[in-house]
Structure 1
Amino acid sequence: MSTEVVTQQLPAHKKKKEFALLKTWKRLIKNKMAIVGLAIIALQLFMALAAPVIVGVDPNKQNLELSELPIGTEGHVLGTDNYGRDIWSRIVYGARISLFVGIGAVSLGLVGGVILGLLSGYYRRLDGIIMRFVDLMFAFPGILLAMLVIAILGTSLVNVVIAISIWSIPTCARIVRGSVLSIKKQEYIIAMKSLGASDLRIMFKHVLPNCAAPIIVFATMRMATAILSTASLSFLGLGAQPPTPEWGAMIAAGQEYMWTSPHMIVVPGIAIMLVVFAFNVVGDALRDALDQGMSLDK
């Protein structure tokens, strides 16, 4: 295949991908549940970024005279906990921690998983070695693997990020590998090889961008898993430590008061439920929109 033909095919391929992306976005916003999920995610992002502006109360400020105030109390819209700390301010600042851990864990997991998946799918001689390593990681239940990592590294939010990211690597690697095995057989990839393009250039400039769809879906749905796992680890005392305003830690602190002050566990529980629901429905909608786009392209 001549150089002129290849140079004509690549821009056309790029324009086709851009058009497909626009169609995918239009299909996504037609999904009402996806719109609800995006709105919840946008609200959490706003709360995380504008926490000092939204609330004027220190989330760790204690006032025992105002302890266990119910929801709707003047000046404390969501009540207070057993130390008199404002629950609304702790929920808002907790959104920042959930996003930090979720984005950090998913990003690190994507880096490791994408690299392993690319190498495994592109180089057949490495496939068996890498996939056996991935199978070994799959042998450990995710939450137990995270607990093991934290037991070794110690309890902190940074270590929670590392633990959850390690848990995310094998699944991401499998997804990327499957996409690479299909993409590297395409004509434009074979053409780039015939023109003498390096393996690194082909993998990161041509193969990886075409793996974006499954990676984006995985990352979106993995955010829900990361946030839920963070809350679970903090509830067990392996994540955020008091007095950090983390949603799972808030539930753990409020379980002793669940009958006298149920709002101490109900409010952070609803926050976790809404955010996990939002990322899951957006991930499902993305997958449906992308699958529909690929079926139409065929």
Structure 2
Amino acid sequence: MTTSAATTTETPSVSQTKTGIRFWRRLCRNRLVTVGLVIIALQLFTAVFAPWLTTYDPTAQDLAVKELPPGSEGHWLGTDEYGRDMWSRLVYGSRISLLVGISSVVLGLVGGVVLGLLAGYYRWLDGPIMRLVDLMFAFPGILLAMLVIAMLGTRLINVVIAISIWSVPTCARIVRGSVLSLKDREYVQALRSMGAGDGRILFKHLLPNCAAPIIVFATMRMATAILSTSALSFLGLGAQPPTPEWGAMIAAGRDYMWTAPHLTIIPGVAIMLVVFAFNVVGDGLRDALDPHMDVTYES
């Protein structure tokens, strides 16, 4: 009896472990996903340990060494038009990209998930919420962000708010679609018959079952958020000088394309690699979280 009880207790844990192993095997069997995970890990590492990875203040000017090419002594990525070290500015710029990206995606998820749950579960709220979502979709995302920043001002916190508002309608539609497909399932009907409240059904049972598409959306939205942050800074609506932000670095270096092309190439490559990484990881998560992939993998 003791052995049987122990086996019964261990079975769910063993099953979850095997499921996790299969998930990681499916995720990492794509080499592009592995490359993307490495790039994201490197960005996180450089953002967290920026003070220990740099020897120069990213905003300190030294006109005696301005526009040095990459490989120069003491400045292996060169210097900008004010003599500021490009490596230091690139590393500290990754902090801003991650901070704005994560903050805007989290805020967008909160608003989108709440609206999506309400629209999918309550029929009387579906119409008004979806018309609001359609109205938000009527504005191109970047123009909507520019409108918000024009009203609130050019500060990074306002960039976060603008990009998070841009993320809400897509997230709301994704969650609404998942809830509509789940709310009439047998287990939801059983919960209602047992007297479970709407809040418990929504947040304890329906929301966890919507986790897979939300995770995929959040990962791929990080790429959009980082790219949008750089675009707004390039237009002068995001980070302001001398803040080391990748889009602002490209904007400042475009006047030196012929004399010092590294001023735009280096931050441009950084944006390209990070956006690529989040996109391929998002694609990999979508495939790995697809329940039908179990059959394909096992065969």
Taking structure 2 as the reference length, what is the TM-score of the superposition? 0.92
The aligned runs of 1:6-21 (5 Å cut-off) are: 20-21=19-20
- Alpha-carbon separation, structure 2, partners of 1:48 and 1:239: 19
Q: C-alpha separation between the residues in 2 aligned to 1:213 and 1:25?
A: 14
Taking the TM superposition and a 5 Å limit, the aligned residue runs for 1:61-76 are: 61-76=60-75
The 2-side partners of 1:142 and 1:19 are apart by: 41
Q: Partner of 2:64: helix, strand, or coil? A: helix
Does residue 49 (structure 1) correspond to residue 48 (structure 2)? The answer is yes
d(CA) in 2 for partners of 1:99, 1:28 = 23
Output one character per residue of 1:28-70: Cα deviation in whole Å (capped at 9) or x when no partner.
0111110000000000000110000111210001000000000
Once the 2 structures are TM-superposed, how far is the Cα of residue 16 of structure 1 from its aligned partner? 7.2
* CA distance in structure 2 between the partners assigned to 1:187 and 1:82 by the alignment: 65
Partner of 1:70: helix, strand, or coil?
A: coil
Find runs of 4+ consecutive structure 1 residues off by over 6 angstroms: 12-18
User: Secondary structure in 2 aligned to 1:41?
Assistant: helix
Mapped partners of 2:16, 2:173: distance in 1:
23
Structure 1 residue identity aligned to 2:272: M
Residue 25 of structure 1 deviates from its aligned partner by: 2.2
Map 1:153-164 to 2 at 5 A. Answer: 153-164=152-163
Unaligned runs of 5+ in 1: 1-11
Q: Deviations over 1:147-186 (max 9, x none)?
A: 0000000001110000000000000000000001111122
Aligned partner letter, 1:216: I
Residues in 1 aligned to 2:262 and 2:26: alpha-carbon distance in whole angstroms: 39
Partner Cα separation in structure 2 for residue 13 and residue 172 of structure 1:
32
Matching residue of 1:259 = 258
Q: Using a 3 Å threshold, how does the CA distance of structure 1 residues 164 and 223 change in structure 2: closer, same or farther?
A: same
Q: Does 1:244 align with 2:234?
A: no
Match of 1:6 in 2: none
Q: State the distance in 2 between where 1:263 and 1:65 align.
A: 18
* Distance verdict in 2 for CA 1:187–1:119, change over 3 Å: same
Cα deviation for residue 26 of structure 1 reads 2.0
Q: Aligned equivalents of 2:98 and 2:293: distance in 1? A: 34
CA gap 1:131/1:189 in 2 versus in 1, 3 angstroms: same
In structure 2, what is the equivalent of residue 4 of structure 1?
none
In 2 relative to 1, CA 206–297 (structure 1 residues): closer, same or farther, beyond 3 Å? farther
CA distance in 2: counterparts of 1:117 and 1:252, whole angstroms: 38
TM-score, structure 1 normalization: 0.92
Structure 2 equivalent of residue 213 of structure 1? 212
Letter in 1 for 2:155: S
- 2:135 aligns with 136
1:122-145 CA-to-partner distances (Å, cap 9, x unmatched) read 111110110000000000000000
* Alpha-carbon distance between aligned partners in 1 of 2:99 and 2:18, rounded to the nearest angstrom: 32
In structure 1, distance between residues paired with 2:38 and 2:270: 14
Corresponding residue of 1:90: 89
Displacement after TM superposition at 1:17 (Å): 7.3
Q: Distance in 1 between matches of 2:286 and 2:261?
A: 37
Unmatched 5+ residue regions in structure 2? 1-10
**1:25 alignment partner AA:** W
| Residue 258 of structure 2 is aligned to residue 285 of structure 1 | no
C-alpha distance in 2 between matches for 1:138 and 1:102: 20
Other-structure match for 1:232: 231
What is the distance in 2 between the residues matched to 1:176 and 1:67? 51
- Tell me the secondary structure at the aligned position of residue 132 of structure 1: helix
CA offsets, 1:4-30, max 9 Å, x none?
Answer: xxxxxxxx9999777545422220011
* Number of residues of Structure 1 aligned to a counterpart in Structure 2: 286
Partners of 1:101 and 1:94 in 2: how far apart?
Answer: 11
Task: Output the amino acid matched with 1:171.
Answer: T
SS in structure 1 at match of 2:210? helix
Partner of residue 116, structure 1? 115
State the identity %.
Answer: 71
Structure 1 residues 100-142: Cα deviation after superposition (integer angstroms, max 9, x where no partner): 0000000000000000000000111110110000000000000
RMSD: 1.8
Is the CA contact (8 Å cut-off) linking 2:287 and 2:293 kept in structure 1? no
**Cα drift, residue 279 of structure 1:** 0.1
Verify the 8 A CA contact 2:117 2:176 in the aligned structure 1.
yes
